[in-house]
Amino acid sequence: MKIPALALMLSASTGFAAAAMPQPAANPIGLWQNPKGTLLVRTRYCGQLLCGNIVWASPKAMADARDAGVTSLIGTELLSDYRRSGAARWTGQVYVPDQGRRFYSTIEQKSANDIRISGCILGGLLCKRQDWTRQ
């Protein structure tokens, strides 16, 4: 039995056809802003690993980094060596410029436009997390 073209168009416009089609997986590649709006980080694949560099920083973020000995914040690799560790999850290292240190970290893709970055010490006993948004 053939479905009339009008019925097919109506079902597509109401979302029935879209619900049946597989949706593209969330992708961590892109431009992300931290919650305070003081950093923009561009993520990309570095070989088979995920990494991200600072492409913009507020004057306050640059001053905080300078106080910690980081002379040039723009271009700094904030996210490094992330490996996929599950569906929409990666593990690697996050660099905290105002502390001048790297920490064990996870990235969780919460939605297409939201990621959660966590940095931990003491084998994951103490963690801080931030929700970043796609720009």
**CATH code of the domain in which 66 resides:** 2.40.128.520
Whether residue 121 lies inside any domain: the answer is: yes
State which residues form the domain around 31: 26-134
**pLDDT one digit per residue (tens) for the chain, 135 residues:** 444 433 333 333 334 344 444 444 578 999 999 999 999 999 999 999 999 999 999 999 999 999 989 988 999 999 999 999 999 999 999 999 888 889 999 999 999 999 999 999 877 788 999 999 999
Whether residue 72 lies inside any domain: the answer is: yes
Whether residue 5 lies inside any domain: the answer is: no
User: Cα angle at 119 between 117 and 121, to 5 degrees?
Assistant: 165
Q: Looking at the 3D structure of the chain, how many domains does it have? A: 1
Which of 75, 52, 76 has the alpha carbon at shortest distance from 135?
52
Beta carbons within 10 angstroms of residue 106's beta carbon: 20
